[in-house]
Structure 1
Amino acid sequence: MTIKHDGLEVSWLGYATVRIESPDGFVVYFDPGRYGVLDDYYARDGDLILVTHDHHYDSDAIEQVADEDAIVVAYEGVSAANIDRDVTPVDDLPYETIRVNDEDFLTVGEVDVWTLPAFNDPDGPHLRANGDPYHPRGLGCAYHISIGNRTVFWPGDSDVLDGFRHLEVSLFLANIGGTVVMDRHEAADLAETLDPDLVLPIHYNTIPLLETDDAAFVVDVASRGIPVVLDDPEQV
């Protein structure tokens, strides 16, 4: 299914994969691939591919969505050597690649891209049994982009961090899976703070670890007076 948002066409394709197309036809993909969400999907129309961290890096999926002239922007910590899957190193992809840290800015085509830190708070609730964060600081980043005169925020795999609360956001891609990231209650609180024009929850129910009640999230957010919509990746 494609969601229309102020001239943007937005599709959640499953897991963390979101496709956004501007009114001028510029196509951005966030974190394409993994867990079969792009099986039989070969658009190869992506002008800009944004990768937050190792867990969301899927080189085969990038080649399924990227145009031959695409630019791949990946967090500097994404490393094939640290991934227990068969992936092509970022620098060996057949595209122009740009590495970013978690406090960067760049412009690609018509899109302005800002990165922000994304991690689990060591004193927060989303920790392994031994007390270590699932996503320690330095593992990945969040992306805040401007496209088609609208701003889109994808926090990646993160808790709700103080820096997020001060962003100007038109479309909030809310990570609601819980367990290893912010849960639906925390994401709803963040949505209320951000007061975006639209909230689209993603990164849930793909695997058992991320099971949550998306309908309850919608009711919660809508009760706060914030527009929210569900997308069904099975209907893309």
Structure 2
Amino acid sequence: MTIRHDGITAEWLGYATLKLSDGETTVYLDPGRYGVLTGEWEPDTPGVGHPKTRDYAPKDGDIVCVTHIHHYDPDGIRRVASDDATVVAFEGINVHQSDRDLDRLADLDYEVRKVGMEDELLVGDVPIWTMPAYNREDGPNVDANGDPHHPKGIGCGFLVALDDTRVFWPGDSDVLPGHAELDVSLFVPSISQSYTMDRHSAADLAAEMDPDLVLPIHYNTFTALEADDEAFAADVAGRRVPVVLDRD
């Protein structure tokens, strides 16, 4: 399903993959992994709310943003990126830190612009800002040893201004200081039950941020990410913040 909002369209394609377009420029965030773009994804729980899998390779992306190593999928990038696309990727992506066989960013056949946790850049006429993305050491998203699943420095979130509509994807992150103060039109949080902010903290942040629309993604792809999106939507709507669900 395609969501229309304030001059742009947004479509959750599965897992963390989000497509944005204003009719002239197309932006993808964290494309691929787990078969969501190859037609191979199957839910762990039958009937779970998530976009249906499909063999998706439009190669129409002008900009492709990648938050961190867990969402870095060279095949996913190649499926969505046009020949002259610009890949904006977190500078800390190190393929040697993954158990997957991955091409290096330097080996991609695209212009690659590396970014840190607090950068500002212009790609074509699209302003992009990065924000820190991590799990707090004193938060719930830690392993058995007490270490964060996503330690500070592992990645970033993206704030993209497309046709003057500001879209914020926090990446794999807890709610962090500064998030609530961002000027956001379309807020696209993860609401998974683990690894990131959950539906409760995402709803609290939405109420503080007061965006024009909330579209949750990054949930129900597999068991550890399962979430009650209808309860999330009811919670957010109850705080007088517009919200929409994009899943099958």
Report the TM-score range of the alignment, normalised by the length of the smaller protein.
Answer: over 0.9
Indicate which of 231, 234, 238 corresponds to 1:223.
238
SS in 1 for 2:207: helix
Please report how far the alpha carbon of residue 52 of structure 1 lies from its aligned counterpart in structure 2 after TM superposition. Answer: 0.2
Kept in 2: contact 1:26–1:110 (CA 8 A) = no
Consecutive unaligned residues in structure 1, runs of 5 or more: none
Cα displacement (A) at 1:178: 2.5
Alignment partner of 2:62: what SS? strand
CA distance in 2, matches of 1:219, 1:116: 28
- The answer to whether 1:62 aligns with 2:77 is yes
Task: Report SS of the residue matched to 1:152.
Answer: strand
Q: Secondary structure, in 3 states, of the residue corresponding to 2:64?
A: strand
Alignment-derived partner of residue 5 in structure 2? 5
The superposition leaves residues 179-218 of structure 1 with CA deviations (integer Å, 9 ceiling, x where unpaired) of 1111000000000011000000000000111011000000
Percent of paired sites with the same residue: 56
CA distance in 2, matches of 1:76, 1:22: 27
Distance 2:11 2:101 in 1: 27
Q: d(CA) in 2 for partners of 1:215 and 1:177?
A: 13
Cα distance in 1 for residues equivalent to 2:152 and 2:178: 14
Which SS does the other structure have where 2:202 is aligned?
helix
User: Once superposed, what is the RMSD of the aligned Cα atoms?
Assistant: 0.8
Q: Structure 2: state its 5+ residue gaps.
A: 39-54
CA distance in 1, matches of 2:153, 2:231: 32
Cα distance in structure 1, aligned partners of 2:67 and 2:33: 13
Could you tell me which residue of structure 1 aligns to residue 33 of structure 2?
Answer: 34
**In the aligned structure 2, how far is the partner of 1:83 from the partner of 1:71?**
23
CA positional deviation for 1:136: 0.1
TM-score normalised to structure 2 length: 0.92
Q: Does 1:158 align with 2:158?
A: no
Corresponding residue for residue 116 of structure 1: 131
Residue in 1 aligned with 2:42? Answer: none
Inter-partner Cα distance in structure 2 for 1:178 and 1:137: 20
Q: Deviations over 1:146-192 (max 9, x none)?
A: 11111000000000001111100000001100311110000000000
TM-score, length-scaled by structure 1: 0.97
Match for residue 108 of structure 2 among 93, 109, 125: 93
Amino acid across the alignment from 1:194: M
Supply the distance in 2 between the matched residues of 1:108 and 1:22 (Cα, whole angstroms).
15
Are 2:30 and 1:15 aligned?
no
Distance 2:148 2:228 in 1: 24
| In 1, Cα distance between equivalents of 2:192 and 2:199 | 7
Instruction: Give runs of ≥4 in structure 1 deviating > 6 Å.
Output: none
Paired with 2:96 and 2:11, the residues of 1 have a C-alpha distance of 31
Name the SS of the counterpart of 1:112 in structure 2. Answer: strand
Is residue 188–residue 220 contact of structure 1 (8 Å, CA) maintained in 2? yes
1:198 aligns with one of 209, 213, 216 = 213
Aligned counterparts of 1:9 and 1:199: Cα–Cα separation in 2: 13
Map of 1:43 onto structure 2: 58
Shift of the alpha carbon at 1:110?
2.2
1-structure distance, mates of 2:119, 2:66:
14
Shift of residue 109, structure 1, vs aligned partner: 1.4
- Tell me, in whole angstroms, the C-alpha distance in 1 between the residues paired with 2:173 and 2:59: 29
Q: For 1:110 and 1:201, how far apart are their aligned partners in 2?
A: 26
